[in-house]
Structure 1
Amino acid sequence: MRVVSWNIHWGCGKDGRIRIHAIIDVLRRLNPDVVCLQEVAANHPELDGSATANQFKQLGGAFGGYHLMEHAPSEIYKNNVPRLFGNLILSKYRISQVHRHLLPWPADPESPAGMPRGLLETVIDAPSGKLRLMTTHLEYYSARQRMAQVQRIRELHVEACARARIFQPDPNLDAPFQLGFRPGSAILCGDFNFAPQSEDYARLLAAPESGALALQDAWRIVHRDAPRAPTTGLHGYPWPERPECYDYFFVTEDLAERVRVLDVLSETAASDHQPVVMELV
């Protein structure tokens, strides 16, 4: 099972031009089973390069054999037309559930900039069985908001693990209640906007409460103590000031022994972030 996570920067390259086809070309070469994208835009002409197209539809059309799930926490209307900005999942595997979680956005007088953030969660029928696959893009400007979002992700994970332990199917319930099994086993990926040495990173991986499955960093599972490859700051982009890692894959402890590959693909300059690829057996 090959999963790709990528903040595509709405397809805007370092020359300020939008080339969504370049994003599509990279993804096709990688041939993933599941794609998790952040910073997908629709009807945003004011973004660099003028992101006027609906990129959710463009990407869905380019991968017609995949199931598409989207979540745009930033949804702004102008002249009754929605301007969307958020996350997208494409999956070759059957999807049995989708949950769209809005993450906390507490007021922060020290950092008035920012936008609503979300966690897009799916339950997929992977070859080895059901698992939850989640992608997110956390706040960049406000440390307070980002930590609140990390804490909420932990709470949602603990909740899912608890529900998995008590799940009992009941065919007598009305259809909307028959969501089916939502496992504790999970993959969490995306642009977290924190560095590996940060408090946010440590908090996300801290021992879970209530018997939930612990989350582990897939890079450390595969590469141990090897220097971490940067996921931003390459190819001459003006941001950030130096190469850094903001993009991650985390897996629950029961999946750790199945992680075989975790690579950052540094060659492409189609976005100011690099694609990250994880493979599980």
Structure 2
Amino acid sequence: MRLVTWNTQWCCGNDGVVSVERIVEHARALADFDVLCLQEVAVNYPRVQGNAAHDQPAIVEQLLPGFQVFFGAAVDEWNEHGRSRFGNLIATRLPVLQVQHHALPYPADDGVRSMPRMCTVVTLRDPALGPVRVLTTHLEFYSKKQRMAQAQALRALLLEGSEQAAHPPEPSDDGSPFRSKTHTAQAILCGDFNFEPTEPEYGAVTQGGGIDQWHDSWRLLNGAAPHAPTFRIYDRRFGPEPVTSDFVLVSNALRDRVRSLRIDADTQASDHQPVAVEIA
């Protein structure tokens, strides 16, 4: 499976131009992906930089014939422009078995800028790997309290899914919503986590114990070598030095199947850099 993950900043490049087409073009140049995971995807936000008044998930679907596109809105609101949505997207050409959208914790943090966050999960069938849960997310930037709660929730989602795979519900083929689902311990979590590898939230996500654990693909391939940066390479508005905040994590069942990881450090189609992994 070839997967690309990218925080697109509503498809706004460092030149201030919003272009969904440019994002998809650069992602395709990085890898012939089976799965594309995008964060910060917008519907009807004309006042953001560059103007994202259009329906970006619909444009992605048009640009990727043969793919199914699943958009999870962390923010779904009505304002002076009508209905506006903002969230994450998974597009895949692989057969899809199930789609879930999980709201992440949003504890109060008085006076701190923030927005709701969520995680989209698509269970798909890869011809080599079999069933795989692909999760994509974008955690809170400003509130450390919320970000830690969300990191802990992502670990809980892994444990819950792996427990379901180990101890599945009662079988059913009655055609109702209780019909048996595909449960698998093979899982991939990717996105913009808004923390660095040295921060406590990273440890909260990758903590061991229980039936399963998230493993950082970079460290599986590179050991203790410093992570290559994915943020603030060109745009330094949010800090003085380049950092890594975009990760691809895998469950125990896939830790020995990560073959490669590439970061496009050259593109400025967003303020983040896209990451491509191959898992086989």
Q: Is the 8 A contact 1:185 1:213 kept in 2?
A: no
Distance 2:208 2:4 in 1: 26
State the match for 1:227 in structure 2: 226
Cα deviation per residue 1:28-47 (whole Å; 9 max; x = unaligned)? 22221100000000100111
Structure 2 residue ranges without an equivalent (≥5): none
CA contact (8 A) 1:158 1:208 kept: no
**Do the aligned partners of residues 77 and 262 (structure 1) sit closer, same or farther apart at CA in structure 2, a change above 3 Å counting?**
same
1:70 to 1:208, Cα distance in 2 relative to 1, 3 A: farther
Distance 1:238 1:14 in 2: 11
Provide the residue aligned with 2:116 in structure 1: 116
In the alignment, is the contact (CA less than 8 A) between 2:11 and 2:18 conserved in 1?
Answer: yes
- How far 1:161 sits from its partner (Å)? 1.2
Figure out how many residues of one structure are paired with residues of the other and give that number: 278
Report what 2:23 is aligned to: 23
| 1:100-143 deviations in Å (ceiling 9; x for gaps) | 000010110152x1111001011110122101110000001000
Q: What is the DSSP-based 3-state SS (H/G/I as helix, E as strand, rest coil) of the residue aligned with 1:60? A: helix
Alpha-carbon separation, structure 2, partners of 1:67 and 1:171: 27
Displacement, 1:201? 0.3
Identical-residue share of aligned pairs (%): 36
Q: Give the 3 Å change call, closer, same or farther, for CA 261–184 of structure 1 in structure 2.
A: same
In 1, Cα distance between the equivalents of 2:228 and 2:180? 39
Alignment partner of 1:226: what SS? coil
Aligned to 1:207: 208
Conservation of the 8 A alpha-carbon contact between 2:41 and 2:86: yes
After TM superposition, which residue ranges in structure 1, 4 or more long, deviate above 3 angstroms? 171-174
Determine if contact 1:138/1:146 at 8 Å carries over to the other structure. yes
TM-score by structure 1 length? 0.95
- Match of 1:160, SS? helix
**Distance in 1 between the 2:201 and 2:126 partners?**
29
| 1:128-277 paired onto structure 2 within 5 Å | 128-167=129-168, 170-209=171-210, 212-277=211-276
CA distance in 2, matches of 1:168, 1:144: 34
Deviations 1:142-179 (A, max 9, x none): 00000111111122221111111122563443421114
Between 232-241 and 66-75, the greater mean CA deviation after superposition: 232-241
| Matched residue type, 1:198 | E
Q: CA RMSD in A?
A: 1.5
2:110 & 2:226 partners in 1: Cα distance?
A: 36
Query: In terms of mean alpha carbon deviation, does 224-233 or 235-244 score higher?
Result: 235-244
1:229 to partner: Cα distance: 0.6
Q: Structure 1, unaligned stretches of length 5 or more?
A: none
Structure 1 Cα separation of the partners of residues 83 and 239 of structure 2: 30
The answer as to whether partners of 2:44 and 2:85 remain within 8 angstroms in 1 is yes
Is 1:53 matched with 2:54? yes
AA of the residue aligned to 1:100: H
User: Could you state the TM-score of these two structures normalised by the residue count of structure 2?
Assistant: 0.95
Query: Match of 2:25, as an amino acid?
Result: D
CA distance in 2, matches of 1:154, 1:135: 13
Specify the SS of the correspondent of 1:61.
helix
In 1: Cα distance, 2:239 partner to 2:52 partner = 22
